[in-house]
Structure 1
Amino acid sequence: MSIRIYNTLTNKKEPLNPIEPGHVKLYVCGITSYDYCHIGHARSSLVFDMIVKYLRYRDYRVTFVRNFTDIDDKII
């Protein structure tokens, strides 16, 4: 059974076809820590952590990169 994901470009569920077969690469723009933590920060972390774990469970090799931006007062 193949994994199907929703493609917002075509508005359809389509089979997951990584560019490199068996290797999924994910980049997630993480939080920008300029104020207090909120539930949205946790949601992003949890959702993509579960996606990565599921893909690994399905025997995909996963490269996962998450960005955390730290805003310094000097650049504002």
Structure 2
Amino acid sequence: MDIPDPVYRQLKAKAALRGCSVRELILSGVKAELKGAVSKKPGKKFKLPLIESKHPGRLNLTNKMINELILP
């Protein structure tokens, strides 16, 4: 199998991060592809807003209020 050098370097780095060999990483990818585990389907669509409000558009937050909520 002929793998271009830049791709092989990425593959080798990914294998090192996972703590496995390049061979093991390639085999796991091939097995997943043969099993059909790799999905090419588009993600599930959803409608916004996810949480309905009784009073939409009525929340008036200042930067100070947001910072107090985010920062301890």
Higher relative contact order (CA 8 A, sep 6+): 1
TM-score range, shorter chain: under 0.3
Greater CA radius of gyration, 1 or 2? 2
- Which structure shows the higher helix fraction? 2
State TM-score, norm by structure 1.
0.25
- Which structure shows the higher strand fraction? 1
